[in-house]
Structure 1
Amino acid sequence: MEIPGVFDANLFCAESFPEVETCKVEGREKQTIISDLDGTLLRSRSSFPYFMLIAFDAGSPLRFIVLLLASPIIWLVYNFFSEAAGTKLLIFIACAGLKASDIESVARGVLPKFYLEDMHSVSYSIFVSCGKRYVVTANPRIMVESFLKEYMGVEAVIGTELHITKSGYATGLVMGAGVIVGANKTRAVKKYFGDDLPDIALGDRASDFPFMALCKEAYLVPSFKPVEPVAKADYLKPLIFHDGRLVCRPTPLMSLVIILWSPIGLILALIRMVFGTVLPMWYALPLEAMLGVSIRVKGIPPSCPQTSGRRGVLFVCSHRTLLDPIFLSIACRRQVTAVTYSISKVSEILSPIPTVRLTRCRKTDAETMTKLLNEGDLAVCPEGTTCREPYLLRFSSLFAELADQIIPVTMNVKTTMFHGTTARGWKALDPFIFLMNPSPRYELEFLDQLPHEMTCSGGKSSHEVANYIQRVLAASLGFKCTNLTRRDKYRILAGNDGVVPASHFLKQRSRIFACLPSRNSERGQRSDP
C-alpha cells in the first residue's frame, strides 16, 4: 500500500488489522518484527510513569513534584491538541538540564524492572519468537534502548532523539524529525529499512496504522482487553540487579501518594531512628513495633558463649539492607559486631552496634575477624553487597577459614514505597529511606549450625563451605544462587566497581550479561575466591 507523505488517520481503521491474539508464534525464527512500545509491548499506553522515574532518580524530588503538577496540562495537550506536542512537553520537563550520563544510568539500572513488570504477555510471546526484532517509539531512544537491547534482544531502536549539548547535558528539546509519532513514525521506518521492510508489525493506536500497513503482516493490540504481565520465568534474561528508590510504578495517583506521605515518612523515620539509637534495642523493639516496624524471627538463636570462655558465634547472613546486623542483634537480644566493606560515617555514628571496616586485603581482614571472634559474636554478609531480587550473589570464602561454629541466617525485607539500598545515590540515607516506609518488615530465620563435616576443620575447602552455605540460605529463602559478585552489580548499575575505570564499562557489561543464565538453563557454582 502506498503511504502518503502526510499522515491521514482516516485512511485506516482498527478493523483493517486482525487482533494480536490471532497471530501464530510458530515458525517465526527467520522473520523480522517491528513493534511500538507503549500500549503494544507494554500493557500501559502511557509512558508518564517512566518519565517520572527519570525525573526522580536522574533529577530530584522537586522535579518529580513539578512533573506531577504539570501532568494535567500534559494530558490535555496530548489528547486534545497534538500527541507530538504533549510528548515534547513531557520530555522537556523530565529531562531538561539533566546529565545525559545520569539519564543513561537510570535507563540501564532503574527502568528495566518496571518495563519488564509491565510487559504485555501476548505481544511479548510473538515478539520474542521472531529472529530479528525492532522497536519504533515516541520515547527518547536514550531512555529505552538499553532495556530493549539487553532484555528484549532488539537489533535497533527507532526513537525520538534527545538533544545533548557538547558538555553532556540534555536540553529537553528533540532533534531531527522530532517526536516519532504519526507520519514521522512511518517515514522513520521507511528510511531505516528501505525496501527490505519487516515481516510483522505490532501497534495499538491510529497513529501506528500507516507504519503497520507497510509490513506483510500487521496485528492490532487492543487497549480495552485486560492481559496478564509476562511471568518472570519467561524473561529472555533474568532481572537480578536494579536500582532506584521507588518500589511501585509511579502512576499519577501513586506519585501523589508518595509526595503526600514523604513528609510524614521523614518525621516517622527520624523518630524510629532516635528510638533505635538511644534506647537499648531490646527495649526499643516494642516502641518500634508501635511505630509500624515489624520483625519476624524463626528458629532459636544460640545462647551467648562468652560465659564459658569460648569464641563467639559467626553469623553468616544473606544481605538485604544496611540494617541487617542491627535486626540480627535484636533477634539475638545481645550486641553482635558487624564487619563491613564500606559504610558512611553517619551510619557508623548512628549504629547501635559496633561496626568494623574491612580493607579488602585478605590477610589483614582475616586477622581483624579472628580478633573480633575471640572477643564475641560476629555477623558477616559474604555477598559484599545487597541484591533486591530473589537471588544470592556469590559468597566470599574468607569467613569459612576463620571459624567452625557457623550459624547461617536468612534475611529478607518487605517494603511498600521506598527501597533502602542504592548503587548510585547517597548510601548514608539508606537507613532513613528504609525507615520512611509506612510499615517496613524484617524476616529472619536462624538455621541449624553448620555440621562439623561441612567445615574446613572437617576436611572441606573454604570455597566448598561458602558454596554450601549459599545453597542452604537460598533454599530456605526460595531464592536462586548466582555467580555474580559485587563488582558485577556496580558495573551493571553504576558503570564502575570502585577500582576499574568507567571507560572499561561497556566491555565488562557485555561480558556480564553474556554470563547471565537464560530462562532454560542455570550456571553451576564457581569455586574461585
Structure 2
Amino acid sequence: MVKKPSAFPKSLLSVRRLLRRSLSGRHYRRTTSATARTPAAPPQDKLHDQTVVVDVEGWLMRSPLSTFPYFMLIAVEAGSFLRGLLLLLLYPVLLCLCLLGDDLYLKAMVMVSFFGLREKEVVRISKAALPKFFMEEVAMEGLEAFKKAGTVVAVTTAFPRVMVEGFLKEYLDVHDVVGREITVVAGRYVGHLEEEEASMVRVGGFLEEMDEMKSKCDGAVGLVMMGSRLHHVFSQYCKETYALTEADKKAWQPLPTDKYPKRLVFHDGRLAFKPTFFAAVAMYTYLPWGIFLAIFRSAAFGLLPYRISVPLGAVTGMRSRLIAGPRHDAAAKKSKAAEGRLYVCNHRTLLDPITVAAGLNKPVTAVTYSVSPVSELIAPIRTARLTRDRNEDRRRMEALLARGDLVVCPEGTTCRERFLLRFSPLFAELAGEVNPVALETRVDMFYGTSTKPAAKWMDPFYFMMNSRPEYRIEFLERVVTAPAEGEEGGHGHSIRVANQVQLVLAEALGYKPTQLTRKDKYMVLAGNEGTVKGDAKK
C-alpha cells in the first residue's frame, strides 16, 4: 500500500527522520562539549509556538510504568482471552529475558501479543480501548510543560508506534509519533519488531541530508528523562534539552479527568480494569465462576418472575438499587386505564428495559434499533424493531403505547462515561407526558457493551459475568410534553422537550449532557455507523 505524503512541515519531517535514525543506533556527535544541566521543566510560555520533542515514557507518563497491562489489553481485546492467558503464563519467562536486555523482552512481548492479529483490528483497539488506560498514567506536570507548544513530536521506546499513536494524536494533540514498527504481511502482524540497530528510514543522499537535518533540528526543544536512551540523542541535536530526574518525577501528579485536553466520552473493550499481572491472574482464576454466574443469572431473569429472579440475583452478588418509585395518582390511572405509559431512560446496557420492567414489576415493551437478532430472541421482555424511518417509527410506537407500557432509550446507543448523548425527539410526539428513568451501572471486571458487531449479542452475558454488577434505578417525576396553551407545537417543540428530559436525567445522575450522537460514537470507536446485520433499512 502506498503511503500518503506527510502534511507536516519539512523541518518537522527532518526532526522525525533524525530521531528514527537515532533510535536505531546511529548517533552522530557534535564536536562541542556537553552543556550544563538545565532546569527539569521549562516554563510553559518559553515553549510557546516552538517545536518540542518529548520522551513519552520518560517525560509524559508517571513512573514506574509497566508495559504488561497494555500488551495484555492488545492480546485480549484485539485477540482473545486464550491469547491473553498465553501471555499471562509466559510472563514470568519474559521477565527473565530482561536479564538479557530490555530489547529482547520487548520483542518477546510483541511476538506473543501481536502474532497473527489483523492490523485493522489492532489499530482500532489502540484508538478505542488503550487511551482510557494511558490517560490514567499521564503526568499533569509533564503534559502542561508542552501544552502551548506549536508542534509536538512524541518518541516512544517502550511500545511499538501503533500502540500509542492513536492515544497521543487524538487526546493529547501530538502532531507526529516516532517509534518502532511491527512487520505486517497480508494485513496481519507476524510479530517481528524492528531491530533497534536497524535503520527505520533509508533515504538516498544520507550525508547531504544530515547537514540539512542538523541545521533544522537546532530549532527544537527536547523533554526527556535523564539517563534514558533518548537523553543523549536529544542533547546532541536539540538547541535545548530539559532532563527530568526520578526524584523530580516522583512529585508529579496524575492528570485529573477535568483537565484532559480532550474529554474521554467514548471507549471500547471488554476489560473494565487495568490488567496488571496480579489483576490478570485474579481475572482468569475467576473466569470459570463468572461464566457459570452469567448463565445462571440469565436463566433466572429469563424464566422466573421478577419477584423471584431479583432476590435470586442478589444472592449471587447482583445489586439493584431502586431509589424512588413512580407516582401514579388515582385520577391518572382512571383516565389512562387503556393507555400505556412512556418511560424514557438513558442507555447504559442492553439490560436497561429489563431493569425498568423489574423495577415496575410488570411487563413492558422495548423498542430497538441496532440490536442483534440473538439478543432479541433471548430477551425476557417484548421487543419491537424500528425502521429508522421517522413516520413509520412513530406509527409503530404509537400502536405499541396504545397496548401497554413502552420503554425507549432516545440516545440510541450506550455510553459508559458520565455523559448523556443527544436525545432523539421522536418520543416527545407520542404522549402528553413521559416518565424519565435515571439508570446508572457499576461493574468491577467486564463492560457489558461493545461496538464490535459480531460480539454485541454477548453484551448482556459480559455484564452478568461481573462478580458484583450493580444497577441503580430512579423513577423521576413526570415531564409534560404537550405544548402549553398558546405555544406552538411541531418538531421544534419536540426538540425542546427532548433537551429538557435530557437535562432532567443529567441532573439526577450528575452527568454532563452533550450533543454527541450514536453516529459520532461508532465513527470514533469502530469506523462505521453502528448498524448490525439485520437492521431495517431506511
Shorter-chain TM range is: 0.7 to 0.9
**Separation in structure 1 between the aligned mates of residue 101 and residue 430 of structure 2, nearest angstrom:** 67
AA paired with 1:92?
Answer: M
Contact 1:212–1:218 under 8 Å retained in 2: no
**Separation in structure 2 between the aligned mates of residue 191 and residue 76 of structure 1, nearest angstrom:** 42
> Which residue does the alignment assign to 2:312?
287
> Which residue does the alignment assign to 2:225?
203
Cα shift at 1:480:
1.2
Unpaired segments of 5 or more residues in structure 2? 1-21, 29-34, 201-205, 533-538
> Which residue does the alignment assign to 1:518?
none
Structure of greater Rg: 2
Cα distance change on mapping 1:17 and 1:389 into 2, 3 Å: farther
Identity of aligned residues (%): 38
> Which residue does the alignment assign to 2:520?
488
Cα shift at 1:55:
0.5
> Which residue does the alignment assign to 1:469?
501
Contact 2:47–2:146 under 8 Å retained in 1: no
Which of 124, 132, 135 is residue 151 of structure 2 equivalent to? 132
**Separation in structure 2 between the aligned mates of residue 444 and residue 489 of structure 1, nearest angstrom:** 25
Cα distance change on mapping 1:129 and 1:452 into 2, 3 Å: closer
Q: How many residues align?
A: 483
**SS of equivalent to 1:76:** helix
1:408-429 Cα distance to aligned partner (Å, 9 max, x none):
1111100110000000151111
> Which residue does the alignment assign to 1:505?
none
> Which residue does the alignment assign to 2:85?
65
Cα distance change on mapping 1:45 and 1:455 into 2, 3 Å: farther
> Which residue does the alignment assign to 1:40?
59
Cα shift at 1:310:
3.7
Which of 93, 105, 109 is residue 112 of structure 2 equivalent to? 93
Matched, 1:142 2:170: no
Cα distance change on mapping 1:499 and 1:337 into 2, 3 Å: closer
1:364-417 Cα distance to aligned partner (Å, 9 max, x none):
111110011101110000010001111111111111111112011111100110
**Separation in structure 2 between the aligned mates of residue 419 and residue 226 of structure 1, nearest angstrom:** 33
AA paired with 2:403?
Answer: E
> Which residue does the alignment assign to 1:251?
276
Cα shift at 1:333:
1.2
**Separation in structure 1 between the aligned mates of residue 192 and residue 485 of structure 2, nearest angstrom:** 61
Contact 1:456–1:462 under 8 Å retained in 2: no
> Which residue does the alignment assign to 1:151?
171
> Which residue does the alignment assign to 1:355?
383
1:402-459 Cα distance to aligned partner (Å, 9 max, x none):
1112011111100110000000151111111001001000011111100366679964
Contact 2:518–2:530 under 8 Å retained in 1: no
Contact 2:222–2:235 under 8 Å retained in 1: no
Contact 2:49–2:148 under 8 Å retained in 1: no
Cα shift at 1:499:
7.1
**Separation in structure 2 between the aligned mates of residue 285 and residue 366 of structure 1, nearest angstrom:** 33
> Which residue does the alignment assign to 2:400?
372
Contact 1:160–1:179 under 8 Å retained in 2: no
Contact 1:53–1:111 under 8 Å retained in 2: yes
AA paired with 2:52?
Answer: I
Contact 1:382–1:396 under 8 Å retained in 2: yes
> Which residue does the alignment assign to 2:244?
220
**Separation in structure 2 between the aligned mates of residue 104 and residue 455 of structure 1, nearest angstrom:** 51
AA paired with 1:440?
Answer: P
**Could you say what the CA RMSD is over the residues aligned between the two structures, in angstroms?**
2.8
What TM-score, normalized to structure 2? Answer: 0.84
**SS of equivalent to 1:124:** helix
> Which residue does the alignment assign to 1:431?
460
AA paired with 1:234?
Answer: K
AA paired with 2:134?
Answer: Y
**Separation in structure 2 between the aligned mates of residue 109 and residue 350 of structure 1, nearest angstrom:** 28
**Separation in structure 2 between the aligned mates of residue 243 and residue 180 of structure 1, nearest angstrom:** 35
**Separation in structure 2 between the aligned mates of residue 293 and residue 180 of structure 1, nearest angstrom:** 55
**SS of equivalent to 1:49:** helix
Cα distance change on mapping 1:411 and 1:205 into 2, 3 Å: farther
1:84-103 Cα distance to aligned partner (Å, 9 max, x none):
11111111111111110011
Question: Counterparts of 1:331-480 in structure 2 under 5 Å?
Answer: 331-424=359-452, 426-451=455-480, 459-460=488-489, 461-480=493-512
Cα distance change on mapping 1:443 and 1:202 into 2, 3 Å: same
AA paired with 2:517?
Answer: T
Cα shift at 1:315:
0.5
Cα distance change on mapping 1:49 and 1:205 into 2, 3 Å: farther
Contact 1:38–1:47 under 8 Å retained in 2: no
> Which residue does the alignment assign to 1:330?
358
**Separation in structure 2 between the aligned mates of residue 315 and residue 100 of structure 1, nearest angstrom:** 43
**SS of equivalent to 2:190:** strand
AA paired with 2:382?
Answer: P
Cα distance change on mapping 1:453 and 1:356 into 2, 3 Å: closer
Contact 1:23–1:219 under 8 Å retained in 2: no
